[in-house]
Chain A
Amino acid sequence: MEANLLDVRDFSVSLEKVPVISNLSFAVQSGEFLTILGPNGSGKTVLLKALLGLLPHTGELKWRGKPRIGYLPQGFNQISVRDLPLTVTDFFGLKKIGAAKIPALLELVGIDGSVIGRKAGHLSGGEFQRMLVAWVLASNPDVLFLDEPTTAIDAAGGETIYSLLKKNWQNQSLTILNVTHDLNIVYAHSTHVLCLSRFGHKCFGVPKDVLTPDVLHDLYGTEVKLYSH
């Protein structure tokens, strides 16, 4: 059996000496779509950043080999580049991707190649988010870290982003670690789920096994109702 792509054991992260993540253990295998779920303030973003090496931690964090990483952080939207004379071509140029390759990359995410001369900050929220997906996939990452990648876009746009990600996830053998509040995403796309709560409760496993009403109640500290029509 192949070794885990990522092993996390007794993993703790503190911010200004306040513990945010305590003694967390889980493992990720190649090709998994792991969603990190939890209420505001439960440490989802902190965990993602610590796994990326952007925050100090204690405990064990072991990658198999040196996987190429792609990262779409929370709040990275067109406003981040709105004041800059930065075209879509320039934006891809920031990671040394030549203009000739850009139309094909944009086509992968359903954007017409004619946008390459437009300012990146003038794209719509949905277009910018799709462009970011193309941008992050352009360097062929092995592992993709996503932090609420569809927060600023409507439900249909969000579903499109996840469908695109899933298509690339299947085609490129990507491993995805995704932070979201959206339970639909967990059920529709994730192979595994990791739950964090402000009360120290954690769960880890296949969504249908671990996301029981009791677990959701523990996770959010209140009853979570799932409605259907």
Chain B
Amino acid sequence: MSEQLLLSLISGISIAGSAAYLGTLMLSRKMAVIAGPLGHLALPGAALAIVYGFSISLGAFPFVVLGIIVIWLLEIRTKLAMEALTAIVFATGVATAFLFLPIDKAEAALVGDISRVGVHETVASLILGSIVVATTRRSYSRIMLINIHEDVARSEGVNVKLYNLVYLSAIAIVVALGVDLVGGLMTAALVAIPAAAARNVSRTLSQFGTAAGLFGVISSTLGIIVSAMTQLPAGPLVILTSAVIFLVTVPLAKA
């Protein structure tokens, strides 16, 4: 196995595993789709990173954080449904990106390019992915209670603002990292598909989180290996593998 493939696999597994685990909380809050517009909003950052030659995730991160703040403020201010905000943020992100993004280099921003990831980016993905998993695991029951009934969580003494901040920060990290793996167009799939497949086969919360993480790891591993063998882009292959796993779990879905 080449050193580059090993780096790609470590990065991909860290990103997809942590995104999928966090995805179980996003799915239970009916928020999995929010990763989509955030990924699109990361595109201008990815474009700047490509133009000036630095890490795509690094470029994406401030734009994702900005996107989360914008969506949060717009929701409070306008009380608009999440679908409407999604459409606004989606369009703004894509439009801004295409003002700056050199079209001949657009592929890496749109569908990701994990095959050229460096040592520093791999280490960063591993550390940040581990932090997301550890933080999510520690806050899981509290965030799930907030997802189920926010007022009950408050009355139980849960600091809802703090946990929402932790939760949104974790989303910002996985989306920014996800742009490297699957590009700005498909980050929602990275959190939503493994979590949805895990829900099909799980009876308990513990099975839900474990299965999602496992499906994320399997799809990124297979996607990256098939990419290395066929020279097709890894991002779409990771997502397609994930979709196949989801389809396999459909007959097993527990009502």
- Within A87-104, the residues touching B (CB, 8 Å) are 87, 89-90, 93-96
Asked if residues B155 and A95 are in contact (CB atoms below 8 Å), the reply is: no
Of B100-108, B200-208, B217-225, B244-252, the one contacting chain A is B200-208
B156 within 8 A of A: yes
B151 within 8 A of A: yes
- Chain B residues, Cβ within 8 Å of A53: 154
A80 within 8 A of B: yes
Residue on A with the closest CB to B155?
A71
Pair count A-B, CB < 8 A: 62
- Chain A residues, Cβ within 8 Å of B156: 71, 95, 139
Contact of B155 among A70, A85, A117 (CB under 8 A): A70
A110 within 8 A of B: no
A44 within 8 A of B: no
Asked if residues A71 and B199 are in contact (CB atoms below 8 Å), the reply is: no
- Within B198-254, the residues touching A (CB, 8 Å) are 199, 202-208, 254
B28 within 8 A of A: yes
B66 within 8 A of A: no
Per-residue 0/1 for B27-56: is the Cβ within 8 Å of any A Cβ (1 yes, 0 no)? 010000000000000000000000000000
Contact of A85 among B142, B145, B149, B254 (CB under 8 A): B254
Contact of B151 among A70, A71, A95, A139 (CB under 8 A): A71
Asked if residues B155 and A90 are in contact (CB atoms below 8 Å), the reply is: no
Contact of A54 among B151, B203, B207 (CB under 8 A): B151
B144 within 8 A of A: yes
Asked if residues B152 and A73 are in contact (CB atoms below 8 Å), the reply is: yes
B135 within 8 A of A: no
A224 within 8 A of B: no
Looking at the assembled complex, report how far the CB atom of B152 sits from the nearest CB atom of chain A, in whole angstroms: 6
Asked if residues B203 and A87 are in contact (CB atoms below 8 Å), the reply is: yes
For chain A, give the interface size range.
Answer: 20 to 34
CA gap between A175 and B152 in the complex, in Å: 18
Asked if residues B205 and A93 are in contact (CB atoms below 8 Å), the reply is: yes
- Chain B residues, Cβ within 8 Å of A156: none
A33 within 8 A of B: no
- Chain B residues, Cβ within 8 Å of A87: 203-205
CA gap between A119 and B205 in the complex, in Å: 10
Asked if residues B151 and A73 are in contact (CB atoms below 8 Å), the reply is: yes
- Within A69-91, the residues touching B (CB, 8 Å) are 69-73, 76, 80-81, 83-87, 89-90
A89-B141 contact in complex given A71-B151, A71-B152, A73-B151, C-beta closer than 8 Å: no
Per-residue 0/1 for B121-153: is the Cβ within 8 Å of any A Cβ (1 yes, 0 no)? 000000000000000000001101100110110
- Within A30-87, the residues touching B (CB, 8 Å) are 49, 52-54, 69-73, 76, 80-81, 83-87
Q: Taking A54-B151, A80-B148, A83-B199 as given, write out 15 further A-B residue pairs in contact, using a Cβ cutoff of 8 Å, ordered by the A residue number.
A: A52-B151, A53-B154, A69-B155, A73-B152, A85-B202, A85-B203, A85-B207, A85-B208, A86-B144, A86-B205, A87-B203, A87-B204, A93-B205, A94-B144, A95-B145
Which 4 A-B pairs have CB atoms at the shortest separation, nearest pair first? A71-B155, A85-B202, A90-B205, A94-B145
What is the interface of chain A, defined by CB distance below 8 A to chain B?
A: 49, 52-54, 69-73, 76, 80-81, 83-87, 89-90, 93-96, 117, 119, 139, 145
